Amino acid sequence: MDIVVCVKRVPLTEEVDLVIDEQKKGIKKDQLAFILNDWDNYAIEEAIILKEKYGGTVVAITVGNEDDEEVLRRSLAMGADRAIRVEVSDISRFDSLGISKILSCVVKDLPCDLVFTGVLADDDNCGIVGIMMAENLNMNHANMVTAIEIEDGKARVTSELEGGLGEISLIDLPALITIQTGINEPRYVSILGIRKAAKKELKIMNLADLGISDEELSPKTIIEEVYLPPETEGAQMLTGDPDKIASDFIEILTKKGVME
Amino acid sequence: MSEIFVIVEHRLGEIRDITFEMLWKAGELAQKLSYTVTTIILGHELNSIVDNISDRADKIIIFDDERLKNFNADIYKEILSGLIEESKPTLTLIGNTSWGMELAPCLSVKTGLPLATDCIDIMFKDDKFIAQRQMFNGKIFSNVSFAESKECLLTIRSGVFPKDKIGDRQAEIIQKDFPLTDIPLKKNFIEFVETAAGDVDISQAELLVSVGRGIGEEENISLIKELAEALGGVVSCSRPIVDKNWLPKHLQVGTSGKSVSPKVYIAVGISGAFQHMSGASGAGIIIAVNKDPKAPIFRTADYGIVDDLFKIVPVLKEKVLELKKG
Ligand SMILES: Cc1cc2nc3c(=O)[nH]c(=O)nc-3n(C[C@H](O)[C@H](O)[C@H](O)COP(=O)(O)OP(=O)(O)OC[C@H]3O[C@@H](n4cnc5c(N)ncnc54)[C@H](O)[C@@H]3O)c2cc1C
Ligand SMILES: Nc1ncnc2c1ncn2[C@@H]1O[C@H](COP(=O)(O)O)[C@@H](O)[C@H]1O
């Protein structure tokens, strides 16, 4: 079972005041901490679980700059065999279609039974790259998958639908699957583990190696402007010391008739 | 005349709400811009579905065939790309649902049309369409336009537009034959499964105390259980808590969990992602506890407490218990 997993490094935005950049095309990232996209963490774990069961290899790929290698090293520490980074200094030049084309170009030359991506990236919240890759590569696909079983060269997958419903289907391999959170319990990665994994192969390619021209990658969707959420009335804040907050809280519940 | 396509989403014989919401937005744009609205239904035994929307579109194109009984992105893609090629609709609206999120990207590559996903509004400005969407889980908004193309595909977030009828239309109904000679049966539907069965029914609770990733560790959930118990309420949660197996799936609120409608919904350590909030939109009031004053949940909650939950939750519990003792 040879599996390729696409992983992305994304900023942590909890409890920070995001600042719009001068061009109003993105946010300032120099003060932010970064992590492996949550969905991709589950995707790597799923690949490693399958490899442990059926043998084979796991290759992690990212499109990004040198800093983005951090997520590849983490993937290697989790158990991936090799990693590939496609050098792109400024990823904001591309839209999801462009990224999907770059990734597809890498994947088409790799032996693979399965390609995993996350359902969604935590930064752009697009949810596009995975299925576009499947179409670029003319590969079978399943979306938002929460369980995978391999049987006779096919994958039996559960796709998550709305309202607590799942849809089970059978797809021929090779296939591209977008992984939903909760499919497994991603393993813990220690600093030592990351250091040990430094011995594993991390290959760097550029767009010229892949034979893709800039023209092929010109974006079809264009971010005109990004901005902070428009003001809304918002919540009425309970303030003061904890005692005061607690009394206000109880008063609200009493008014609503849920406190005897 | 320019045309807007709306792809009908239905499951197990019922139209999904997102279809009505897309029809509302399509109707509004069509009124303003003098466009027409065309809906496309793929499926089998579709009469009741057609009846439900015949006064909301100018044209309904129906593909009724046994082979379309279950959703299949590849078959949908083949059929829809043919129609899009033929009619060149200015906009094609698809639900940003589990199915739509699989269909739209492959349809975009197949037709070569640009795609903006999870749109919360569509505007027409300076002679071009702009899609409004969110990034960074709602902390940033963005306006997206489409290069060089007169046509585009948009997937629409559930719950942002009304389900009401807008304008008065009488649809011309066009039945079409299944156009594909060779079906790309790359994926075979087996069955639907219920993934959120359980003993407690949070959709019936009057008071929910809901816990999110802010709780940090599994053992801290007892803090939330104690508060719920003191209040005589029921515990529910956001998705990451279920993903980590800290609480069972049937306690999850949101698009992929349950919709709830308590009198009071207390959200503790929950950021307020729309996939979560859409499940809580039926609540009488929402009280949010979060230490990040910029957390999106404070935009939709009625009352907010900006504090570390580990400081405030024990105080809330003590006060409630004190009061109950009299
Ligand atoms: C297709 C799809 C379907 C989904 N369906 C659902 C669904 O049904 N239900 C659902 O909930 N999600 C769903 N999600 C996930 C959703 O997008 C969010 O990722 C999720 O809701 C986030 O959960 P959270 O708010 O608990 O965690 P986070 O977003 O991580 O938020 C944690 C919050 O806790 C706060 N916090 C941290 N520490 C403290 C502290 N000590 N005191 C107070 N506050 C603190 C932080 O400021 C933060 O705001 C879905 C996603 C997708 C893509
Ligand atoms: N720059 C990238 N490098 C590698 N994988 C990516 C990249 N961008 C997106 N992906 C993959 O595509 C998935 C969906 O991303 P998106 O379509 O941007 O929401 C992510 O979970 C990743 O698996």
Question: Vertex B228, ends B222 and B234: CA angle to 5°?
Answer: 110
The least confident of A13-22, A90-99, B234-243 is A13-22
For residues B170 and B217, membership in a common domain is answered with no
Question: In this model, does residue B184 exceed pLDDT 80?
Answer: no
Give B142's contacts in chain A (Cβ within 8 Å): 223-227
pLDDT above 90 for B185: no
The pLDDT of residue B167 is 84
Same domain as B113, residue B228: no
User: E strands of A74-174, at which residues?
Assistant: 82-87, 114-118, 140-151, 154-160, 165-172
Could you tell me if A95 and B116 are in contact, meaning their C-beta atoms sit under 8 angstroms apart?
A: no
The reply to whether B145 touches chain A by the CB within 8 Å rule is: yes
Q: What CATH number corresponds to the domain at position B121?
A: 3.40.50.620
pLDDT grade, residue B147 (50/70/90)?
confident
Q: Does the Cβ of A45 fall within 6 Å of ligand 2? A: no
**Distance (Å) from the alpha carbon of A149 to chain B's nearest alpha carbon:** 14
Q: State the ligand closest to the CA atom of A115.
A: 2
Residues B9 and B156 reside in one and the same domain: yes
Q: Which ipTM score applies to this complex?
A: 0.96
Say which DSSP state B249 is in: G
Q: Mean pLDDT over residues A86-113, rounded?
A: 95
Distances (CA, A) of B15 to B66, B73, B97, B163, B205: 18, 18, 13, 12, 27
Quick check: B147 and A165 CB within 8 A? no
- Taking CA–CA distances from A154, the nearest residue in chain B reads B187
pLDDT in tens, A152-204: 889 999 999 998 999 999 999 999 999 999 999 999 999 999 999 999 999 99
The distance of Cα A201 from the centroid of its chain, to the nearest Å, equals 22
Residue A16 — pLDDT band, cuts 50, 70, 90?
A: confident
Q: How far is CA B168 from CA A243, B37, B49, B54, B92, in A?
A: 56, 11, 18, 10, 21
In chain A, the percentage of residues whose pLDDT exceeds 90 is: 90
Does this model's pTM top 0.90? My answer is yes
Is residue A246 pLDDT above 90, yes or no?
yes
Same domain, residue pair B283 and B139: no
CATH dotted code for A2-217? 3.40.50.620
The predicted structure's pLDDT at residue B183: 73
Separation in Å, CA B85 to CA B79, B108, B118, B320: 10, 12, 24, 64
Backbone Cα Rg of chain A: 22
Q: Are A144 and B145 a contacting pair at CB < 8 A?
A: no
Q: Which of residues 240-279 of B touch A (CB under 8 A)?
A: 240, 242-245, 249-250, 252, 255-259, 263-264, 271
Q: Could you tell me if B82 and B227 lie in one domain?
A: no
* Mean pLDDT confidence for A119-142: 97
Q: Which of A67, A117, A119, A220 has most ligand 2 atoms within 8 Å of its beta carbon, as the pocket-test mutant?
A: A117
Say what the pLDDT of residue B129 is.
Answer: 96
Q: Which residues contact B236 (CB under 8 A, 6 or more apart)?
A: B202, B205, B208, B209, B210, B211, B251, B252, B253, B258, B260
Together in a domain, B25 and B172: yes
DSSP H or E stretch at residue A99? helix A96-107
| Domain shared by B18 and B101, yes or no | yes
Q: Are residues B19 and B168 in the same domain?
A: yes
Of A125, A162, A232, the CB nearest to B118: A125
Q: Tell me whether strands A175-179 and A114-118 are parallel, antiparallel or unpaired.
A: parallel
User: Peptide bond before A242: cis, by omega within 30 degrees of 0?
Assistant: no
Q: Which residues of B285-300 are buried (b: 16+ CB within 10 A; e: fewer)?
A: bbbbbbbbebbbbbbb
Residue B278 Cα to ligand 2 midpoint, Å, equals 25
Domain count, chain B: 2
Indicate yes or no: CB of A17 within 8 angstroms of CB of B145.
no
Q: Are residues B121 and B206 in the same domain?
A: no
pLDDT (mean) for B149-165:
94
Residue B184 lies in a domain: no
Sort out which chain B residues have CB atoms less than 8 A from A153's CB and list them: none
Range of the domain at B305: 202-325
Q: What is the CATH number of the domain that holds B264?
A: 3.40.50.1220
**Token digits for A164?**
């607590």
